[in-house]
Structure 1
């Protein structure tokens, strides 16, 4: 590797770490998540490709933590945002755009009756929990423990290894349940009779396949015990389908939260749900009002314009179908390369076609952060960057072909490390680490 090839990125990363705790504004983008000697700092992107500050070009996967579903700088979204911000970005009263965006969103997600916009997923998911507690008069929240993240707020972070600064009393108000096991949820309700306000989960969970009618039956079970169901559609919304994964499952949760791909990377998120529940945060209720979402930038124009343009492109171009087709083509192209290299038991492509991830296993067939580091580093050295193989609608046949060659080039390095029983020589520094850990 040329010492100067990533010099600008290495230098910029060091400056970031000195000024920004964790070296990034999102832990998943931090320097501990990528090989230290070749972690690109991005200068620009277009379509499925990005360029770093040193001028290196990459095919990018998992763009914007799965938020850029159309591809970077999509012309229709860019045009809509530019047109709108020339008219102003924030006003003292609601803008007509807020009505138009609400109508467009609810037409796209017809299972929901009301919507309120914000800027990030954590805020809307916490607002959903608050509504559920107000609606039920209960305090305990149950989260799916097979899913990695729901909010930056205390009610969820208190369940992770990074619970420093969160009072024990808050941590004790959140309990967990496994994905796909109705019996476990039933037992949880029995263990906490009359205390659980809501179940919080993603509609689907990575490579785990739920039993038939799982989500519908879960909603029925929760209602039987007087609790609500909050479905987190941050990853699945607009990626699985425009209307969300819950609709594909034939379920109608009480509340849904959306973000990431609904604005193709622009800052917009949505809390949506049944009118009866949502109105607790409105003006047409006889119950005690909930201070729901009241943020200065919740209806800022750029995000709402991006949302509406993304919906238009989605309908016009069959975005969910295209993303799934791209992922399917990528999986089909990579599988024989991995098999021919004798790595099928160590390097696995998992998940839905629209949401592919890779698993890196060591010589004992156990998940390995060092082997993940090795694999990611080899991909970067051969022009592919990303924590997964989650693709956008912009991925091309040429991008897939280049990704295949990158994996082909990585395979002998991976094999040699397996034969040695040690990946350390090919990491370029320390191994990547899980985000949620107690010590640095």
Structure 2
């Protein structure tokens, strides 16, 4: 497969001047092999094309935003129709109310909902609501967890004042004793424990929660009159139509959702129970585009597709097919893969590869062959990743294993 980058390299040179230090965020070339395109020309289904017309089967799906696949016709049609009559208007359309009622219905814990644009908006609203309701300040946050890029949660310390992190205590995910120690340290000032549905920190293996850990988070929040905030930004609607910890029988007080909730249209959701309704009504949170109605239409259409087309089951089936195929393929070349987390959000690493040299080389070879997989961030399966797409992927990764064997033996 020919992989040319003439247009891409020219764009990168322009980006060095146009942006502070080239493309930033997820697509920073400092964080990925130069074989990954930074600029994307078009998308469709489970595929994307870069500016040199190289085609890729995409396992990042816009970093999780396209649950059904790029440009799902029913979602795009609903959004387009609404945008044609009213989108970013002076006030919201009635679709905002309809969507709130829908989330209140499908989420077992939810009595009310709010909308914003990004996951960071939603997690911040949750934290503000917890503090407003409890009149306490301290938030417990798992070590290495990502909850957004605002001062209180950004993983980079530059530009962050010490006061932004003043009322935070860290704990170790899935470690009950660590959680108990953090609660004791907070004393009478515990406002909330924020937790992700499973551990999906970058650069490390994913880890599913134990039932004991999830139960303990819920019990401690009840005992100390604190909020259980579920940061469901990455996971929402992938495992169940509701908050993800419903699968464990554990309900949050406040839940932040985004990414997949409108299949590529900018939207985030905060859901909460009546205990925190007053706190939510006291905070001030808004944005110029938060009432834009095309995203509400897209979200309603997305949920309808999930309900009607058994999308959640299909995601798991496709994820399992990829996981099994990759494991068998690796074994055939004498390698042992370490695949962690749920198969719908795969992360793939190599055993006996402490410095990730094999991993980084392998995924560079994979992307050259037209499969966009990530070496250190969890990936995403979409509804467009059919069995045929998975099988096509495995044909392409075969060549990457051949290259890996040639280099590492």
Assess, with a 3 A threshold, how the Cα gap between structure 1 residues 236 and 407 changes in structure 2: closer, same or farther: same
Aligned position for 2:7: 8
Q: Which of 400-409 and 65-74 deviates more?
A: 400-409
Residues of 2 paired with 1:11 and 1:179: CA distance? 43
Aligned position for 2:353: 365
- Does the alignment pair 1:280 with 2:279? yes
Question: Does structure 1 retain, via aligned residues, the 8 Å contact 2:48–2:55?
Answer: yes
- Does the alignment pair 1:333 with 2:325? yes
Shift of 1:73: 0.5
- Pairing 1:37-436 to 2, within 5 Å after superposition: 37-39=35-37, 41-147=39-145, 149-157=146-154, 160=155, 162-206=156-200, 207-282=206-281, 289-291=282-284, 293-344=285-336, 347-360=337-350, 364-368=352-356, 370-387=357-374, 389-419=379-409
Assess, with a 3 A threshold, how the Cα gap between structure 1 residues 79 and 228 changes in structure 2: closer, same or farther: same
Question: Does structure 1 retain, via aligned residues, the 8 Å contact 2:141–2:168?
Answer: yes
Question: Does structure 1 retain, via aligned residues, the 8 Å contact 2:229–2:256?
Answer: yes
Aligned position for 1:286: none
Shift of 1:32: 2.2
**TM-score, with structure 1 as normaliser:** 0.86
Question: Does structure 1 retain, via aligned residues, the 8 Å contact 2:35–2:367?
Answer: no
Question: Does structure 1 retain, via aligned residues, the 8 Å contact 2:133–2:280?
Answer: no
Residues of 2 paired with 1:205 and 1:169: CA distance? 27
Shift of 1:109: 1.6
Write out per-residue CA displacement over residues 60-104 of structure 1, whole angstroms, 9 at most, x where no aligned residue: 001111111100000000100111001111232332111111112
SS in 1 for 2:153: helix
Write out per-residue CA displacement over residues 8-56 of structure 1, whole angstroms, 9 at most, x where no aligned residue: 122223322321235335x112222332145252111111011111111
Aligned alpha-carbon RMSD (Å): 1.9
SS in 1 for 2:195: strand
Question: Does structure 2 retain, via aligned residues, the 8 Å contact 1:323–1:391?
Answer: yes
Question: Does structure 2 retain, via aligned residues, the 8 Å contact 1:262–1:307?
Answer: yes
Question: Does structure 2 retain, via aligned residues, the 8 Å contact 1:121–1:258?
Answer: yes
Assess, with a 3 A threshold, how the Cα gap between structure 1 residues 189 and 110 changes in structure 2: closer, same or farther: closer
Q: Which of 351-360 and 9-18 deviates more?
A: 9-18
SS in 2 for 1:89: coil
**TM-score, with structure 2 as normaliser:** 0.92
Write out per-residue CA displacement over residues 287-338 of structure 1, whole angstroms, 9 at most, x where no aligned residue: xx322x2212112012111111100001011111111110011111111110
SS in 2 for 1:156: coil
SS in 2 for 1:155: coil
Q: Which of 213-222 and 236-245 deviates more?
A: 213-222
Aligned position for 1:433: none
Q: Which of 398-407 and 232-241 deviates more?
A: 398-407
Assess, with a 3 A threshold, how the Cα gap between structure 1 residues 374 and 192 changes in structure 2: closer, same or farther: same
Question: Does structure 1 retain, via aligned residues, the 8 Å contact 2:243–2:255?
Answer: no
Shift of 1:358: 1.2
Aligned position for 1:426: none
Gaps of 5+ in 2: 201-205
Question: Does structure 2 retain, via aligned residues, the 8 Å contact 1:63–1:386?
Answer: no
The number of residues matched between the two structures is 401
Write out per-residue CA displacement over residues 190-235 of structure 1, whole angstroms, 9 at most, x where no aligned residue: 1221122111111222432322253233111122123211001111
Question: Does structure 1 retain, via aligned residues, the 8 Å contact 2:86–2:93?
Answer: no
Question: Does structure 2 retain, via aligned residues, the 8 Å contact 1:357–1:390?
Answer: no
SS in 1 for 2:187: coil
SS in 1 for 2:174: coil
